[in-house]
């Protein structure tokens, strides 16, 4: 099998199971985070006045990633920019405006930043570097497979767009306003679990770290947001499955 076909095959397989990447990162990162709490001397900011600022920075990185996902999903039509895990590749149309006018894979940029936050929490420099490299190799194949699919389906239209739009590092000079209005209904329907998962991870890390060090000064903000976003997730899940409240035509 030629390398081109092999990369596409690998990318399609990884695309199907790409939801497991966060679990791998989270599992390894959790162990390293706990190690840092057991051995505070391994992280130079541990038990200093700057530790809370570092936590806030990691949280903001993750929130930036989620914001990119929200903006992307909110301004795209149905059957594009979706999870599509069970269906494989799906694209009824080619997105070329809005965030897709500055970067070809905005959802993966968002995913990267969302999971970079928990990686930063470990305080382990080499794990952060390893995560970045792993993400690069993992998603490079997925992006390759996606682009092969889009190239075959949309032909010259795809090639003309891809020629001027970078794959992963945004080029803001190319920005073209989206043709679709911002849809909060689609955001609430598609991205309802992201915010809850984010605050759940940060809250669990914080509580676990303080427990190991026999502390009780838990981060009340993280705990409160975890509870609030948890209730919001359950409510939105109900509205999505039991009502038509979040439905929109072609979105």
Q: Is 208 inside any structural domain? A: no
Q: Is 231 inside any structural domain? A: no
Give 98's DSSP letter.
Answer: B
Q: Is 62 inside any structural domain? A: yes
Give pTM, 2 decimals: 0.89
What pLDDT is attached to residue 82? Answer: 57
Domain count, the chain: 1
Q: Is 27 inside any structural domain? A: yes
- C-alpha dist (Å) from residue 243 to 197, 221, 234: 24, 32, 14
What's the domain range around 113? 3-183
Give 219's DSSP letter.
Answer: -
Which ranges of the chain have pLDDT less than 70? 1-2, 81-91
Q: Is 107 inside any structural domain? A: yes
CATH value at residue 118? 1.20.120
Q: Using one digit for the tens of pLDDT, what is the confidence trace for 104-126?
A: 999 999 999 999 999 999 988 89
User: Could you give the CA distance from residue 234 to residue 241 in angstroms, rounded to a whole number?
Assistant: 11
What pLDDT is attached to residue 84? Answer: 52
Which residue intervals of the chain are DSSP H helices? 3-16, 21-38, 51-74, 106-121, 125-154, 156-164, 184-190, 192-212, 220-242
């Amino acid at each position: 099998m030629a390398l081109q076909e092999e990369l596409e095959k690998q990318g399609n397989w990884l695309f199907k199971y790409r939801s497991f990447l966060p679990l791998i990162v989270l599992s390894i990162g959790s162990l390293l985070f706990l190690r840092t709490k057991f051995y505070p001397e391994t992280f130079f900011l541990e038990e200093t006045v700057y530790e809370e600022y570092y936590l806030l920075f990691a949280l903001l990185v993750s929130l930036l990633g989620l914001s990119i996902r929200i903006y992307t999903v909110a301004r795209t039509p149905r059957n594009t920019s979706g999870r599509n895990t069970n269906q494989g590749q799906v694209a009824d149309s080619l997105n070329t405006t809005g965030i897709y006018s500055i970067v070809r894979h905005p959802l993966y940029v968002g995913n990267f930043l969302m999971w970079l936050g928990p990686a930063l929490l470990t305080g382990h420099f080499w794990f952060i570097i390893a995560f970045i490299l792993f993400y690069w190799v993992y998603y490079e194949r997925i992006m390759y497979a996606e682009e092969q699919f889009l190239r075959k389906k949309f032909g010259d239209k795809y090639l003309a767009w891809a020629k001027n739009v970078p794959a992963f590092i945004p080029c803001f000079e190319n920005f073209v306003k989206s043709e679709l209005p911002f849809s909060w209904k689609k955001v609430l329907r598609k991205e309802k679990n992201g915010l809850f998962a984010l605050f759940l991870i940060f809250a669990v890390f914080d509580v676990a770290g303080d427990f190991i060090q026999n502390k009780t000064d838990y981060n009340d903000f993280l705990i409160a947001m975890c509870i609030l976003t948890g209730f919001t997730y359950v409510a939105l899940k109900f509205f999505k499955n039991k009502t038509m409240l979040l439905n929109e035509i072609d979105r």
